Amino acid sequence: MGRRLFAAFTDPKRRPRAIIWSGVVLVGLVVFSAVSVIGTSVNWFCTDPCHVVHEDNTKTFVAGTHSQVNCVACHEPVNASPLIFILKKIEVAPDAIPTILGTFHLPMNENNAIAVQMSDLYCTQCHSLATRVVTPTKGIIIDHDAHTAKDITCPTCHNRVAHPEEGIEYTLPGDEKHEDWVTMDACFRCHSLEPGGQAPGACSACHPTSFDLVPATHDTAGWYAEFGESAGHAQAAVAEAETVAEATSRTAELPEIEKAVGPVLDPEATVNTCYTCHLKSFCTDCHGVPIPHPEAFYSSHGQEGLADPASCARCHARSAAEAEGTLFCSACHHAQSEPGKAWLPQHNGVVQSEGAEQCFVCHDTVYCATCHVSGKEAADAWLKANAR
Ligand code: HEC
Ligand code: HEC
Ligand code: HEC
Ligand code: HEC
Ligand code: HEC
Ligand code: HEC
Ligand code: HEC
Ligand code: HEC
Ligand code: HEC
Ligand code: HEC
Ligand code: HEC
């Protein structure tokens, strides 16, 4: 073959035809390469032939602010030489097999690896924060330089900028939505209220003084009311703790992120929302006792309550009156006690109508006698008549 080709070029008669044909082949190759490189770089190639794979992703892309931008601008090397660009295409070519066979892995990008692997270069191709006047949503303060100075990459926060998922319905079976990191919880993967955090958690760092700092949940009835229903915040706290525990065990199973460019942080879902706005001591200072009560507390609560009644009254008293002294004990111990009213003036009526039998489950007769001392004989007689 090689010798015949050589002969074609050395034979003066056949040379012109040989040159023409090789020219044609060469031009053909160049056109083919150009068409395949350009062809595989247009959004159509990423969204349509691979429709099955990118169906969900295309929906989010079209809904985003970058819908006019080329996929390759963010998903293939920036300013790479044509050779690297072609090598990159060859590298991903084997992806065609699972695409055709329908065996590709879903959910896609479940640990947000793509965002962690993307450097600032992709974004700074088009955006310059040096010249751009940033106009964040009202009430939010952002200091871009503080983060760039610490090598925190753009997609560490703007991970969903080209693929916003809100209001989008995914249809590929097994596909799932991702975390959005422009949220307060996501900021608190680094920021913290507790001392020793790597970045400040004080509200004033990210919110102007005019901002309403109390979330809507807190204004609902039963969230917290002195001597009233406070189970709202308790249920929310329990639910949040469960969510965090579930997310922690679920995300511990996710594959580790290789070739990270930005910081690899714990997933946003593992951040306990309550502690983005509250120090832990805010909760424990108000409770005063461990919540929920530990098992041992149940047998010792009488003594503990008598030693410091005020520490129980804040949760167990149903009125300001019941918060006085040990009156709140009656809330549980005297089923007949009218809420918010002292038990003492009620107890005689109950004994008279229902008898004293039930009282002696908890009290011994000496207990009654300590007050009923209008004469030892009278008390004894009464006790004798009413004893079990
Ligand atoms: C402006 C930059 C940008 C453009 C343009 C862009 N993407 Fe993305 N894409 C991203 C980022 C950032 C992520 C990582 C998201 C994450 O990890 O949370 C991503 C993630 C993905 C994922 C993984 C699944 C997911 O939703 O996280 C796929 C698939 C994808 N992009 C395909 C495309 C396709 C196809 C196009 C063009 C139609 C495109 N992208 C255009 C930035 C971009
Ligand atoms: C090919 C150019 C291009 C690239 C690459 C690009 N953007 Fe954009 N971006 C735009 C254009 C155009 C807009 C719309 C006009 C504007 O707000 O600047 C935009 C808007 C934005 C906005 C404001 C609107 C919104 O949805 O919040 C943010 C934030 C943003 N881009 C971040 C990024 C990040 C982060 C990256 C890298 C992952 C990136 N961009 C990559 C061109 C680009
Ligand atoms: C620490 C998180 C964080 C990082 C890192 C970050 N940003 Fe932002 N950026 C924000 C927040 C928060 C906003 C305001 C969002 C809002 O308006 O709701 C914002 C706003 C923007 C906007 C929109 C400005 C406007 O006028 O609407 C652009 C563009 C932008 N960022 C680009 C970038 C680029 C480029 C990088 C990387 C060089 C980057 N950001 C890195 C958090 C970040
Ligand atoms: C990867 C960790 C990380 C994440 C995520 C992060 N930050 Fe930061 N942030 C920092 C660091 C580090 C500093 C600089 C602290 C310093 O200089 O002491 C900082 C500083 C800031 C500052 C300046 C505070 C001041 O008073 O100096 C603001 C504002 C800010 N971040 C807002 C945000 C917002 C809003 C988000 C979420 C959208 C966010 N950050 C997410 C690490 C992070
Ligand atoms: C590191 C930056 C940062 C700090 C510090 C911060 N926030 Fe935020 N906050 C955000 C961002 C970003 C949003 C908007 C995104 C969202 O809604 O999650 C937000 C939203 C909110 C909202 C409205 C959303 C909601 O949950 O109702 C409230 C209220 C709020 N913050 C209160 C606070 C309070 C109170 C503090 C101080 C204890 C605080 N923030 C500290 C970044 C911060
Ligand atoms: C976005 C910020 C934010 C989040 C998240 C948050 N809180 Fe609050 N919370 C506040 C602010 C602000 C106050 C008012 C503090 C003050 O007056 O000193 C408050 C007050 C409270 C109070 C006191 C009663 C009241 O309504 O004044 C309780 C109890 C409480 N929060 C419980 C919780 C629990 C439990 C969670 C988690 C499920 C939670 N908070 C999450 C911002 C928040
Ligand atoms: C202003 C005082 C106050 C603050 C602050 C407060 N709590 Fe409470 N907490 C109460 C009261 C009162 C109850 C009893 C509610 C009831 O009757 O169910 C309670 C009960 C609870 C319970 C229920 C325990 C159980 O076993 O049912 C949980 C959990 C809880 N709080 C979590 C929190 C968390 C987390 C915070 C901080 C983010 C917090 N609380 C802040 C007053 C407070
Ligand atoms: C929230 C309801 C509740 C409150 C408030 C309460 N108790 Fe009790 N207490 C109980 C229950 C329920 C039992 C039965 C426990 C058991 O059988 O294990 C009990 C049992 C007791 C016992 C018997 C303990 C034992 O060893 O079995 C004593 C003594 C006692 N309480 C004293 C008090 C005193 C004193 C107060 C007020 C300072 C008080 N309790 C407040 C619910 C309450
Ligand atoms: C911060 C609120 C709070 C404080 C303070 C508190 N409790 Fe409770 N207590 C609760 C809640 C909520 C429950 C019901 C859920 C549980 O078992 O934790 C409860 C349950 C109990 C029970 C069991 C009732 C039953 O029916 O099983 C006893 C007994 C009790 N508390 C006694 C006390 C005593 C005594 C004190 C003071 C030393 C005290 N508690 C302080 C919130 C509180
Ligand atoms: C489940 C246990 C229990 C039962 C049943 C019970 N008590 Fe009590 N009672 C208590 C506890 C606990 C206290 C508070 C202890 C203290 O303050 O020394 C108390 C306190 C009292 C007090 C003192 C109230 C005060 O203001 O100082 C009287 C009076 C009393 N009980 C009467 C009765 C009568 C009458 C009955 C029957 C109808 C009865 N008790 C049934 C547990 C019980
Ligand atoms: C803390 C003191 C105190 C204790 C303890 C006490 N009582 Fe009394 N009791 C009183 C007072 C004071 C009256 C009068 C109330 C009134 O007339 O309003 C009374 C009235 C009564 C009466 C009505 C008597 C009448 O002649 O009208 C009965 C019955 C009674 N108590 C039963 C008991 C029993 C049973 C116990 C023990 C389980 C008990 N009391 C424990 C203080 C006490």
Angstrom distance (rounded) from CA 292 to CA 324: 23
CB 191 within 8 A of CB 181: no
- Residue at 16 is within a domain: no
- Calculate how far, in angstroms, residue 92's C-alpha sits from the geometric centre of ligand 2: 25
pLDDT of residue 80: 80
Residues 260, 329: one domain? no
What total of structural domains would you count in the chain? 3
- Residue at 383 is within a domain: yes
User: How far, CA to CA in Å, does 261 sit from each of 115, 148, 257, 335?
Assistant: 9, 13, 10, 64
Which of 120, 141, 143 to mutate for ligand 4's pocket (most ligand atoms within 8 Å of CB)?
143
Residues 320, 178: one domain? no
pLDDT of residue 337: 84
> If you take atom 18 of ligand 3, which residue's CA is the nearest one?
137
Q: How would you class 350 by CB atoms within 10 Å of its CB: exposed for 0-12, middle for 13-18, buried for 19 or more?
A: middle
Residues 336, 368: one domain? no
Tokens 């951040």 appear where? 271
User: How far, CA to CA in Å, does 238 sit from each of 184, 241, 292, 296?
Assistant: 20, 5, 10, 21
Residues 339, 365: one domain? no
Give CA torsion, residues 108, 111, 112, 114, to 10 deg.
Answer: -70
- Calculate how far, in angstroms, residue 158's C-alpha sits from the geometric centre of ligand 3: 7
Residues 103, 250: one domain? yes
pLDDT of residue 388: 45
pLDDT of residue 41: 67
- Residue at 368 is within a domain: yes
Residues 85, 159: one domain? yes
Of all ligands present, the nearest one to the C-alpha of 154 is 3
Q: Does the CB atom of residue 286 touch ligand 7 within 6 A?
A: yes
- Residue at 212 is within a domain: no
> If you take atom 23 of ligand 6, which residue's CA is the nearest one?
224
> If you take atom 16 of ligand 5, which residue's CA is the nearest one?
183
Residues 76, 120: one domain? yes
Residues 239, 266: one domain? yes
**Parent domain of 317:** 304-353
Residues 73, 87: one domain? yes
Please name the residues in contact with 216: beta carbons below 8 A apart, sequence gap of 6 or more: none
- Residue at 12 is within a domain: no
Q: What pLDDT tens digit does each residue of the chain (388 aa) get?
A: 556 766 767 777 877 787 888 888 888 777 766 666 676 666 777 766 655 788 899 999 999 999 999 998 999 888 888 888 788 878 888 888 888 888 888 899 999 999 999 999 999 999 999 998 999 999 999 999 999 999 999 999 999 999 999 999 999 989 999 999 999 999 999 999 999 889 999 999 999 999 999 999 999 999 999 888 899 999 999 999 999 999 999 999 898 999 999 999 999 999 999 999 999 999 999 998 888 899 999 888 989 898 999 889 888 888 887 888 888 888 888 888 887 677 888 899 999 999 999 898 889 988 888 788 765 566 566 556 655 4
Detail the DSSP E strand segments found in 102-181.
Answer: none
- Residue at 222 is within a domain: no
Angstrom distance (rounded) from CA 332 to CA 349: 18
Please name the residues in contact with 182: beta carbons below 8 A apart, sequence gap of 6 or more: 157, 158, 160
> If you take atom 28 of ligand 3, which residue's CA is the nearest one?
134
pLDDT of residue 367: 87
Q: Does the CB atom of residue 327 touch ligand 8 within 6 A?
A: no
Residues 107, 166: one domain? yes
Residues 131, 243: one domain? yes
- Residue at 292 is within a domain: no
Judged by phi (left if over 0) then psi (alpha if -120 to 50, else beta), residue 262 lies in beta
pLDDT of residue 361: 83
Question: Which residues lie with the beta carbon below 6 Å from any ligand 1 atom?
Answer: 43, 46-47, 54, 57-58, 61, 66, 69, 71, 73-75, 108-109, 112, 114-115, 118, 155, 159-160, 162-163, 178
- Calculate how far, in angstroms, residue 231's C-alpha sits from the geometric centre of ligand 10: 27
Residues 270, 309: one domain? no
- Residue at 130 is within a domain: yes
